[in-house]
Structure 1
Amino acid sequence: MMPSFGRRRTWTSLLVGLALFFILSRLRNLRYGGPDTFAFGAPAPSGSAHDKGPGYRHPPSRWTSLKLHYQVPSMRQFPKGQPLALPKVQKSFGSESASDRDVRLRRQAAVKKTFLRCWDSYRANAWLSDELAPVTGGKRDLFGGWGATLVDSLDTLWIMGLRSEFDEAVTAAANISFETTSLHEISVFETNIRYLGGFLAAYDLSGDKRLLQKAKEVGDMLYIAFDTPNRMPVARWNPHTASRGQYQTAQDSVLLAEIGSFSLEFIRLSLLTGDPKWFDAVQRIMEEFEKQQQTTQLPGMWPVVVNARTQAFNKHSDYTLGAMADSMYEYLPKTHALVGGLLPMYRDMYEAAMDTAIRYNLFRPMVPDEKDILMSGMVSTTTESGKIVATLRPEAQHLSCFIGGMFALGGKLIDNQTHVDKGEKLADGCVWAYQASPLGIMPEVFRMVPCKSADNCPWNEEEWMKAIVKTAGQNTEKLDVARAEALIAQKRLPRGFTNVQDTRYILRPEAIESVFILYRITGRPDLLESAWAMFEAIDLNTRTELANSAMGDVMVTDGKPSLSDSMESFWLGETLKYFYLVFSEPDVIDLDEYVFNTEAHPFKRLLPSS
């Protein structure tokens, strides 16, 4: 997928390079590789720790023995005091009829069956590798080679009541060594959300101390990436050079999500271990973001690209809630919930950012049924006559579908009904896009026509066709009907779409994530029906003989869509977990007790004493 970077490209080469990284990273396609391994100066052993017997236990991580070059002079401490009683998030659900319960449980069982089918295939064909190749049955190590699918799935196994599978997986995970990897570079962000998040959540659910130990091992490793002169992390990090004690410097060009998405995992790890170093590490970052929040070209939001080396978080001109920035914003209200309101800066930063996003990034698209829905696009800023001018690029992304859940959850947590209402319309927008697409599955990236008025938006066929032709590069006031019809047929455009830049579906969770959160908040029964239609369409079209695979083109109108032989760990760790939870009883991972990280790993919230 190629995310949009706005109309003005005074820094094109920088963004193209960063786009490629992020497309291959947060958009779940990061392909590192290299022959190197590291073991603190020693050659990597011929047999990995994965091959040890079930009784094998690693000694304490040697990452803790590395001498830091840049010691923290004064360690920040988590604030003392009782957590606040934040507003209730979940709706109080009443009694359920026998027929509704039967339908819900049958749907839940179908999701669980799909999960088990994929899990069994992973176990048989790619055990302890990062991913199963679901068409060919091969295996891939793209996220450190530390069993990403296994670790990402631990809490899903627990939630689904698969205790024997969970116990086997924990025993295997306990023997993973984070002291060796065949990759020459890792994403600190991805390692944080998948591995640290996976271990923490599984510990919070099960209480198995082996999982907390593994979380600490990952945390100790990641902490070394923060050993820079200004304590900003090295986002794309070489653990081999770090293990040899080489000096490190944070990078000049870092994506917003890469540097701003540590607060949930790091703070939870500090709370569980009593060691403040991770809390200190993340607070240093977030305090800088707080200082600069109102100094950017779109005050309240931060640009897609920031400079970690100079700590300049306010210079560039593209702003989005979607790809490359997403989890930075998502973590603000969620951290507020995690810490029970004891760090008010997170609430304040969230509210200020969303006030700006509502004004500039959200738009109502013109759709044939005139439904009142919202999408979120990219905004680019320019300076004209000394004033900042913001221009919207109305490009919707599947990844951005998490925004509906974020707004609804954040709105409940800070008692802001406007945010809840915006969240509903955003989630409804993604449901609409699923329903409008030929296979019932939303594509990765597409464009729409923004309404001139958010209050009244009648469908205009001529306006839609003009936008299709203009998007294709023919800028004319007079409608070329023949050209428009040819483009509609060629690009297989549903009414309302003006272009589909990326036709893939890569087993993404963001749409069902928002549907799940909105259902728990509102109790709307139509959301259950939407969730089931989404699951049926996805399972039908992505199923292979072994598991489920990412698709190359969801816009096909005849024949079977092509499969790309990819099943990233978030299929089991996020997508199927959210499908399962939407059909679960409301007290299973109650949103008033847990908060999810961006990889769908639930952490226990700090709650006031009863």
Structure 2
Amino acid sequence: MSEVCTHTQYPPHQHTHAPFHPSKHNSPSLLFVIVALTQEQLFFTISKTTQAFPLLVTSCPPSGYVKCLADPPVIGICLLAYGLMMKFAWDNYKSFAWGKNELRPLTRNGHIGNMFGGLRGASIVDSLDTLYIMGLMDEYNDAKEWVETSLDLNSNGEASLFEVNIRYVGGLLSAYYLTGEEMFKRKVMVLGEKLLPAFNTPTGIPRGVINLGSGTSWSWGWASAGSSILAEFGTLHLEFVHLSELSNNGIYTEKVMNIRKLLNKIEKPHGLYPNFLSPVSGNWVQHHVSIGGLGDSFYEYLIKSYLMSDKTDEEAKKMYYSALEAIEANLVQKSPGGLTYMAEWRGGILDHKMGHLACFSGGMVVIGADDGAPEKRQHYLDLAAEITHTCHESYSRSATKLGPEAFRFDGGAEATATRLSDRYYILRPEVIESYMYMWRLTHDPKYREWGWEAVEALEKHCRVEAGFSGIRDVYAQTVSHDNMQQSFFLSETLKYLYLLFSDDDLLPLEDWVFNTEAHPLPVVRKSCLQGEGGTHDKTTSE
């Protein structure tokens, strides 16, 4: 009998609608942690945890005591800490900003913003999977009910294609895959269809802004010569492949594959991908290359597209490793102090600056280390570790032990922000993201130690009475808060911290791929069985 491929297999709970239970993956529950505590530590009961939590954070594990992080009860306390941070952030959002996009914790009100085209509840949609993974089921159920009854997709505003895709589409897809709730699938299919008109350009490269009601799209006013942004049109692939999977409609995959086709066809300076591309002519508009803002997640989605395809997307693999080779040849630098960093490239001239956004790249390089040329595996592991070390240095060299928005390597500076405009921290996740991936793939305990350092800093400097807030200057001894609890703090920063201390079989990397907003999506697998007709994919997280 000939072999044929079987249908798309989703995680087992999707067929049975039995919920995904993190506790089955050895992720300690709040009850487990309380039982594991000593009599002295029992002071931190669930009823008193909110008040006591700052003491918990500063007392365990002791700063710099790496062996403490190998003790299961202590890891349980760490997980409890992250769950409590999430609950504190969520409870204040619910109390003061429910239904708005983000919380302003100092003024105790909500923020809507102009990125989402009239869509509301960004923090709710972004939090669905984090709440579920952490086992905060009452909070998750409140979020689910809001999505079902109050998430209005018939908005008529100006939305960022990129932001709506990574937060709303990614968040709803992930919630569906984790829970099997059909409501999430229905919602995301409606929203996905509303994004398609952005691709109605001469080249098929989507414009960055779309009116979700009329379907009219245009480029950002600040984008050079009406261009589209590499990190925006290049960060659609994971979600759009899953939209095609769920709808049995190939149009979503066709749209993102057309982007790839054009990128493969046009000339790339020194093998690099500039950040600005005309959706009309299909030509580069400026030769500015960055692994940070404007470019970052394009490269991330190349390797993740390969991994999400069960390592069958050879085109994505080739594009990723070719791009990485060009990045190493042109952008990767070593400072006089021995720190490895990724500079920016402006028409052949290097700008020796690395943004916080670029700190995701340690994680990116390490998840692709095994699939490059065998002789380069150790090199990629070393490169990932060096980049992550540099990003940790940007934290450790500040007064708050939190990292600036961008840091430089010129004029005697090393991993520090020299410009006032670069000194802020807005609860970004990229450094912690790389800690999580480096831990998962090396099990070097320093990454957990570094993660806990970040928790201590977040608790000390970013926690306010009604939530968490970014700060305006990481080098200031007395911080000034920016009055914004970003939705990605709930979706990414706290989730990556939780996964950093969880067992590897909680959302294992061989079965799940995280989108750039940290929403887990299952690997799409091809499975061939004997004697069955028909050809279809298999998606699994088993």
Shorter-chain TM-score tier: 0.7 to 0.9
How far has the Cα of 1:231 moved from its partner?
A: 2.9
Task: Render the CA deviation track for 1:67-101: whole Å, top value 9, x for unaligned.
Answer: xxxxxxxxxxxxx9589xxxxxxxxx9xx999611
With over 3 angstroms needed to count, the CA separation of the structure-2 counterparts of 1:311 and 1:588, relative to structure 1, is same
The residue matched to 1:175 in structure 2 has which SS?
helix
Name which of 514, 519, 528 aligns with 1:596: 514
AA aligned opposite 2:340: L
**Conservation of the 8 A alpha-carbon contact between 1:178 and 1:221:** no
How far has the Cα of 1:247 moved from its partner?
A: 8.7
Q: Does 1:114 align with 2:85?
A: yes
Q: C-alpha separation between the residues in 1 aligned to 2:202 and 2:391?
A: 43
The residue matched to 2:232 in structure 1 has which SS?
helix
Q: C-alpha separation between the residues in 1 aligned to 2:390 and 2:88?
A: 31
Q: Does 1:402 align with 2:360?
A: yes
Structure 1 segments, 4+ long, off by >6 Å, are 96-99, 246-251
Q: C-alpha separation between the residues in 2 aligned to 1:543 and 1:528?
A: 21
Q: C-alpha separation between the residues in 2 aligned to 1:247 and 1:121?
A: 35
CA RMSD of aligned residues (A): 2.4
Equivalence for 1:378: 344
* Count, aligned residues: 456
Q: C-alpha separation between the residues in 2 aligned to 1:582 and 1:157?
A: 16
How far has the Cα of 1:366 moved from its partner?
A: 2.9
Task: Render the CA deviation track for 1:170-205: whole Å, top value 9, x for unaligned.
Answer: 12112344443364x110010000000000111111
Q: C-alpha separation between the residues in 1 aligned to 2:305 and 2:273?
A: 18
Q: Does 1:426 align with 2:387?
A: yes
Q: C-alpha separation between the residues in 2 aligned to 1:576 and 1:544?
A: 16
AA aligned opposite 1:152: D
**Conservation of the 8 A alpha-carbon contact between 1:178 and 1:218:** no
Task: Render the CA deviation track for 1:225-273: whole Å, top value 9, x for unaligned.
Answer: 223344332211233443xxx6979983121111111000000121122
How far has the Cα of 1:565 moved from its partner?
A: 0.5
Task: Render the CA deviation track for 1:207-231: whole Å, top value 9, x for unaligned.
Answer: 1111111111110111122233443
Q: Does 1:224 align with 2:142?
A: no
Q: C-alpha separation between the residues in 2 aligned to 1:430 and 1:171?
A: 39
Name which of 279, 292, 295 aligns with 2:253: 279
**Conservation of the 8 A alpha-carbon contact between 2:423 and 2:475:** yes
How far has the Cα of 1:163 moved from its partner?
A: 1.9
The 5 Å alignment of 1:147-162 reads: 147-162=121-136
How far has the Cα of 1:609 moved from its partner?
A: 4.2
How far has the Cα of 1:296 moved from its partner?
A: 2.0
Q: Does 1:204 align with 2:177?
A: yes
AA aligned opposite 2:443: G
The 5 Å alignment of 1:213-362 reads: 213-242=186-215, 252-292=226-266, 295-299=267-271, 301-312=272-283, 314-362=284-332
With over 3 angstroms needed to count, the CA separation of the structure-2 counterparts of 1:585 and 1:131, relative to structure 1, is same
The 5 Å alignment of 1:172-211 reads: 172-181=146-155, 183=157, 185-211=158-184
Structure with more of its chain in helix, by fraction: 2
Q: C-alpha separation between the residues in 1 aligned to 2:483 and 2:409?
A: 30
AA aligned opposite 2:92: S
With over 3 angstroms needed to count, the CA separation of the structure-2 counterparts of 1:247 and 1:100, relative to structure 1, is closer
Equivalence for 1:56: none
Q: C-alpha separation between the residues in 2 aligned to 1:167 and 1:423?
A: 38
How far has the Cα of 1:438 moved from its partner?
A: 1.3
Equivalence for 2:497: 579
Q: C-alpha separation between the residues in 2 aligned to 1:152 and 1:282?
A: 23
The residue matched to 1:554 in structure 2 has which SS?
coil
Q: What is the TM-score with the length of structure 2 in the denominator?
A: 0.80
Q: C-alpha separation between the residues in 1 aligned to 2:255 and 2:164?
A: 16
How far has the Cα of 1:363 moved from its partner?
A: 1.3
Q: Does 1:499 align with 2:418?
A: yes
AA aligned opposite 1:445: A
Q: Which moved more, 1:268-277 or 1:526-535?
A: 268-277
The residue matched to 2:200 in structure 1 has which SS?
coil
Q: C-alpha separation between the residues in 1 aligned to 2:268 and 2:205?
A: 20
Equivalence for 1:445: 406
Task: Render the CA deviation track for 1:490-529: whole Å, top value 9, x for unaligned.
Answer: xxx7x76472451100000000000000100000011111
Q: C-alpha separation between the residues in 2 aligned to 1:570 and 1:393?
A: 28
Q: C-alpha separation between the residues in 2 aligned to 1:98 and 1:513?
A: 18
Q: C-alpha separation between the residues in 2 aligned to 1:306 and 1:397?
A: 21
AA aligned opposite 1:277: I
Q: Which moved more, 1:539-548 or 1:372-381?
A: 372-381
With over 3 angstroms needed to count, the CA separation of the structure-2 counterparts of 1:336 and 1:99, relative to structure 1, is closer
Equivalence for 2:51: none
Q: C-alpha separation between the residues in 2 aligned to 1:146 and 1:247?
A: 20
The residue matched to 2:368 in structure 1 has which SS?
helix
**Conservation of the 8 A alpha-carbon contact between 2:366 and 2:381:** yes
**Conservation of the 8 A alpha-carbon contact between 1:336 and 1:347:** yes
With over 3 angstroms needed to count, the CA separation of the structure-2 counterparts of 1:97 and 1:316, relative to structure 1, is closer
Q: Does 1:570 align with 2:488?
A: yes
AA aligned opposite 1:573: S
The 5 Å alignment of 1:517-536 reads: 517-536=437-456
How far has the Cα of 1:346 moved from its partner?
A: 0.3
Q: C-alpha separation between the residues in 2 aligned to 1:599 and 1:237?
A: 20
Q: C-alpha separation between the residues in 1 aligned to 2:166 and 2:388?
A: 23
How far has the Cα of 1:378 moved from its partner?
A: 0.3
**Conservation of the 8 A alpha-carbon contact between 2:237 and 2:301:** yes
How far has the Cα of 1:123 moved from its partner?
A: 1.1
**Conservation of the 8 A alpha-carbon contact between 1:503 and 1:555:** yes
The residue matched to 1:606 in structure 2 has which SS?
strand
**Conservation of the 8 A alpha-carbon contact between 1:366 and 1:496:** no
With over 3 angstroms needed to count, the CA separation of the structure-2 counterparts of 1:182 and 1:276, relative to structure 1, is closer
Q: C-alpha separation between the residues in 2 aligned to 1:182 and 1:335?
A: 31
**Conservation of the 8 A alpha-carbon contact between 2:156 and 2:212:** no
**Conservation of the 8 A alpha-carbon contact between 2:235 and 2:298:** yes
**Identity in percent:** 31
The 5 Å alignment of 1:45-84 reads: none
AA aligned opposite 2:457: A
Q: C-alpha separation between the residues in 2 aligned to 1:497 and 1:119?
A: 32
